[in-house]
Amino acid sequence: MSTKFTFAAIAVLVLSFITLAHSTGRREVHAGASDATPQSGAIERISAEELKSKLEKQELVTVLDVRSTDHYVAAENRIKGSIHVKLRRLSSRLSFSPLKDISRDSEVVTYCACPNDEASYRAAEILLNAGFKRVRVLEGGWQMWLKAKGPVEPRPKA
């Protein structure tokens, strides 16, 4: 009887762990760049060529660089005129200059250097939730900007 009891106890534990893992586990996303985040379909994208054209025409566009610190420091440049902000601090930085001075009706473009533009989409969601109405993600991020030969400038040295 002790063997049956031990087997039953192990079976119950295994099933419990499976149920727990299923209910608390992270959902894996096996999708392309346009599905990088759950709500990414609602966020508009802009091509590097279109952003480049807007900047050349001196249209009013705020460009937010949300690359990780490692990517930002490793690249000696940034998109010309962009503002670098750490993604994890974006919400709180919206209360301080220069971000607090950006009109909620103006166009804002976010970019990063990560696969599928994940950080850009997260930043765009934060901005939309904060009341910004015209937020777009630079499709392909920093790498696509470099391929398009968009204007860059040296990043400020810390």
Instruction: Tell me the pLDDT tens digit for each residue of 64-107.
Output: 999 999 999 999 999 999 999 999 999 999 999 999 999 999 99
pLDDT of 157: 79
Confidence class for position 16, pLDDT limits 50, 70, 90: very low
pLDDT of 1: 52
Cβ neighbour number for residue 150 with a 10 Å cutoff: 20
Quickly list DSSP for 86-150. Answer: -GGGHHHHTTSTTGGGS-TTSEEEEE-SSGGGHHHHHHHHHHHHTT-SEEEEETTHHHHHHHTT-
Q: Is the peptide bond before 98 cis (omega within 30 degrees of 0)?
A: yes
Q: Is 23 helix (H, G, I), strand (E, B) or coil?
A: helix
Cα–chain center distance at 33:
11
- Going by the DSSP 8-state scheme, the letter that residue 80 receives in this structure is T
In DSSP terms, 44 is beta-bridged to 136
CATH of 33-154, one of 3.40.50.300, 3.40.50.1860, 3.40.710.10, 3.40.250.10: 3.40.250.10
Confidence class for position 138, pLDDT limits 50, 70, 90: very high
